[in-house]
């Protein structure tokens, strides 16, 4: 995890209005808004590196309700498209959604089939960051 965080920090791209990292209280408010518990690794990601901008993928954020990556908005959209309600969206990618299960496993929900692709899974958010986001 620490290596992935270091790599993200090194690759962070400068942007005109940088994102901020959320406080723990903000994550509690988000959980109340979306009515689902945030898995531990997703909480860690949001608290430690959700301000990183890198590459073409844009994982969810938690500090700016006006951002197109704001978790409650991304979740509302994903769920309205058919993503099962028990999954927390991590990242939208061309209409597909990487989602996090309660145990922290990341899966790929595909829009064309409206189903989880069982062949695409990662042990945790950190494995997904390393294998998908940093490789995109």
**Going from the N-terminus, what domains does the chain have, and what CATH number goes with each?**
2-133 (3.40.1580.10)
- pLDDT tens per residue across span 31-78: 999 999 999 999 999 999 999 999 999 999 999 999 999 999 999 999
Instruction: Quote the pLDDT of residue 118.
Output: 87
| Residue where the block lists tokens 């061309």 | 94
**pTM value?**
0.96
Chain mean pLDDT for the chain: 97
The β-bridge partners of 99 are 89, 107
Give every CB contact of residue 80 below 8 A, 6+ residues apart in sequence: none
pLDDT in the model for residue 108? 98
Confidence of residue 133 (pLDDT cuts 50, 70, 90): very high
* Rounded Cα distance, 32 and 52, in Å: 25
Q: Which residues, other chains included, contact 31 with Cβ-Cβ below 8 Å and sequence gap of 6+? A: 37, 38
Say whether pLDDT at 136 is over 90. Answer: no
- Residue 119 — pLDDT band, cuts 50, 70, 90? very high
CA proximity to 95, closest of 83, 107, 86? 83
């Amino acid at each position: 995890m620490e290596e992935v965080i270091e790599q993200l920090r090194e690759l962070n791209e400068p942007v005109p209005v940088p994102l901020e990292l959320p406080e723990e209280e903000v994550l509690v408010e988000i959980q109340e808004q979306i009515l689902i518990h945030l898995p531990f690794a997703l909480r860690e990601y949001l608290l430690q590196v959700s301000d990183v901008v890198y590459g073409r993928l844009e994982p969810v954020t938690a500090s700016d309700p006006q951002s197109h990556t704001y978790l409650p908005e991304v979740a509302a959209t994903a769920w309205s498209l058919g993503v099962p309600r028990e999954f927390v969206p991590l990242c939208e990618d061309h209409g597909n959604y990487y989602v996090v299960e309660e145990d922290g496993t990341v899966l790929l929900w595909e829009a064309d089939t409206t189903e989880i692709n069982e062949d695409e899974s990662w042990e945790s958010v950190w494995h997904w960051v390393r294998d998908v986001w940093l490789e995109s």
